[in-house]
A and B are shown apart, each in its own frame.
Chain A
Amino acid sequence: MPRIYVHPLPVRIWHWANAFGFVALIATGVQIRYIELVHVMSFKTAVNLHNGIGWILVGNFFLWLLFYLFTDKIRVYHPELSPVKHFRASFRQLQYYGYGIFKGEPNPHHLSVYQKFNALQSMTYQIIMLLLVPLQFVTGILLWDLKRFSYWVDLFGGVRVVDTVHVLLFIFFTGFIFVHPYLASLGHTPSAHFKAMITGYEEVDEEPVPQAPAK
């Protein structure tokens, strides 16, 4: 099968660090929040691990951000400006996941270097990467040192508001961490997308059409 290079090395490093880091943050988060149910380590160890991994992922986020800001690959995150086109494509994608895939229909999204996300992914990842992940990091940093950031905690509306936002996002990412690998297994083989995130190359049905880089 023809192959195209869709996941550059910095993106792959960011992705796997983020993936394992988020699993570790969720695991330590569960231990911190539900210590009477999950007691793998002491509360303090869980908090210190959670904080340490959190800081690594904050740095990792900037690897992702700077890579996309300073390369033309940012085009993969460019939104579809026509709402009609966007929602039509999203609906087609939903139809595929909700029905077409069962009947063996082909995926309506055709992968290319600058369009590696389908319409649903495009919208979801913009929200996740530009809103939810930064918000999770900001609230986490505020909770890491409440006294030092007391001005910002007050601006948020108080420590409970900060924590509630942090926990709501933790709940969202807990659901996401199960659904994301499953959706990633829906390539032309169950392991195709996983291999692609290791090698950088996705296998495609037809010979790729060369695309002009951003001007």
Chain B
Amino acid sequence: MNALRRLRAGAATAAVLLMLATMPPVPAHAADRLSEDDRKCLACHAQEGITKTFEKGDTLALRVDGEQFARSIHAPLGCAACHSEVDLKSHPGGGTRFDTAREFAVAQAGACRQCHEEVFKQHQGSIHALRLGEGNPVAPTCAGCHGSHSVSPKTAYQTCVTCHAAALAEHRGWLPNAESHHEVVSCAACHAPAALRMVDLRLYDRTARTWVAEKEGQPWFEKLARSIDADGNGLDAAELRSLLKAINPEGTAVPKTLRGRIELRAGVEAHRLSEKSKALKACDNCHREGAEPFQNVAVSVTGPDGRPRRHTAQKQVLGSALAVESLPEFYAIGGTRSTFLDVLFLIALLGGIAFPAGHMTVRWLYRKFFA
């Protein structure tokens, strides 16, 4: 058995040396930015069909898409940052042995912990951590949600529905306007009940049907927002309108609009997912005046790395009369209630009562004194 292993390791080492010697050109574009060491790793790991076989016989594909990795948020760290256990002298073949691919994946989360200790603290006690601790074979590891070599900021919804594909159908059973809720409320906003929420007003390009994103090296949003929010106390309703006018100059055929989403104030808290039974289900968590998610508001565009570039707005922008013009595509019953309409309602209510009462009184007075 040992002889067989030695033979396998020897053959693999020979193959590595052969590949290094005849290293193919690294793909152009993003992968060009990778370090020399990373490109050496990719010389083998970019090959189709490269796999690792575990003790119990299951295999793991070891191919890494160089382009995807180069675009991932971890690209600047390089391969060795997460795979520090790899000793090139004995690679492949050396290092800790695992019985199964699952065991390897669980252990590999330790690499994430080196940098993301805070996330692990949030994750402790979550339903995913609980299931992982119980040894549930489908409980997600870090890579299960975030991917391994293509880690990029994704919307929580994309991440969640990868496993919870039936989520929408289940919500349709009890949640009115389930599709709209799934579109404008991040999963964690309800399923991480202890986390704090906010309204993220993200700039949307209706022509391209996508979120507006800044290009690499050309930041403009924060500078523009800061110049309009001169007093620095957050954009008020008039300033928000000015911001949109600056983004959509006179004559813009299809203006870019702000679409609101309920997000977590700190994205890291998305790891505090609870059991389904503890998720927020009462509608008035959001649908009432003064609801917690509507107390913090930000206007944002997507940065080049996919993360939002945010500027604070005052919460009053949501209920301002100007919101009909500035935020035509964001409305939540109760949470974005307009004060102007409330006043009109009060006038209609009092007027509706006062007119009959007044008219009746005058009729009575006439009968009493002039009849």
Interface residue? B287 (CB, 8 A): yes
Name the residue of chain A whose CB is nearest to the CB of B331: A160
Complex formed: what's the CA distance from A174 to B346 in Å? 10
Given the complex, which residues of B lie within 8 Å of A161, measured CB to CB? 324, 328
Are A164 and B338 in contact (CB-based, < 8 A)?
Answer: yes
Interface segment among A12-20, A71-79, A98-106: the answer is: A98-106
CB of A178 within 8 Å of the partner chain: yes
Give B308-340 as 1s and 0s: 1 = Cβ < 8 Å from A's Cβ atoms: 000000000000000110011111011011100
Task: Establish whether residues B352 and A176, one from each chain, have CB atoms under 8 Å apart when the complex forms.
Answer: yes
**Does the CB pair B328–A178 fall under 8 Å?**
no
Using an 8 Å CB-CB cutoff, how does the interface string of A127-144 with B read, 1 for contact, 0 for none? 000000000000000001
Report chain A residues within 8 Å CB of B344: 168, 171
* Contacting residues of chain A (7-56) with chain B, CB-CB under 8 angstroms: 32-36, 42-44, 47-48, 51
Contact with A174, one of B183, B333, B349, B356 (Cβ below 8 angstroms): B349
Neighbouring B residues of A215 by C-beta, 8 Å: none
CA distance A75 to B284 in the complex (A): 48
Contact A178 B355 (CB under 8 A): yes
B220 contacts partner chain A, Cβ-Cβ < 8 Å: no
- Contacts A33-B333, A161-B324, A178-B352 given; indicate if A171 touches B176 (C-beta within 8 A): no
Q: Determine if A147 and B330 form an interchain contact, defined as CB atoms under 8 angstroms apart.
A: no
**Which segment of B151-159, B240-248, B358-366 sits at the interface?**
B358-366
| Residues in chain A near residue B363, CB distance under 8 A | 101-102
Q: Which A residues lie within 8 Å of B341 (CB)?
A: 164, 167-168, 171
Asked if A108 lies at the interface with its beta carbon under 8 angstroms from chain B, I say no
CB within 8 Å of B: which of A148-191? 148, 157-161, 163-164, 167-168, 170-172, 174-179, 182
B356 & A178 in contact (Cβ 8 Å cutoff): yes
* A178 close to B283 (CB less than 8 A): no
Per-residue CB proximity of B265-305 to A under 8 Å, as 1/0? 00000000000000000111001111000000000000000
CB distance from A128 to the nearest CB of B (A): 15
Smallest CB gap from A146: residue in B: B180
Interchain CA distance A157-B341 in the complex, whole Å: 18
Q: Are A44 and B283 in contact, CB atoms less than 8 angstroms apart? A: yes
Kindly state the interface size class of chain A when it binds its partner.
35 or more
* A148 CB contacts on chain B under 8 angstroms: 179
* Contact in complex: B352, A174 (CB < 8 Å): yes
Residue B218 interfacial (CB < 8 Å): no
> Which one of A44, A48, A182 lies within 8 Å of B356 (CB-CB)?
A182
- CA–CA, A76 to B257, complex, Å? 47
Q: Which residue of B lies closest to A174 (CB)?
A: B348
**Residues of chain A contacted by B179 (CB below 8 angstroms):** 146-148
Provide the residues of chain B in CB contact with A160, threshold 8 Å.
Answer: 323-324, 327-331, 336
B356 to chain A: closest residue by CB: A182
Judged by a CB distance under 8 angstroms, whether A207 is at the interface is no
Contacts of A104 in B (CB 8 A): 371
Cβ 8 A contact of A171, one of B328, B330, B334, B345? B345
Min C-beta distance of B161 to chain A, whole Å: 16
Q: Is the CB of B328 within 8 A of A147?
A: no
* Residue A206 lies at the interface, judged by CB distance under 8 Å to chain B: no
* A175 proximity list for chain B (CB < 8 A): 348-349, 351-352
For the complex, is B1 an interface residue (Cβ under 8 Å from A)? no
* Chain A positions within 8 Å of B283 at CB level: 42-44, 47
Contacts of A157 in B (CB 8 A): 328
Residues in chain B within 8 A of chain A (CB atoms): 176-177, 179-180, 183, 257, 282-284, 287-290, 323-324, 327-331, 333-334, 336-338, 341, 344-345, 348-349, 351-353, 355-356, 359-360, 362-363, 366, 370-371
A–B Cβ pairs within 8 angstroms, 20 of them: A33-B334, A33-B337, A35-B334, A36-B289, A43-B282, A97-B359, A102-B366, A103-B370, A145-B177, A146-B179, A147-B183, A160-B324, A160-B331, A160-B336, A167-B338, A171-B348, A175-B348, A177-B352, A179-B352, A179-B355
Q: Closest 3 interchain pairs by CB?
A: A158-B328, A178-B352, A182-B356
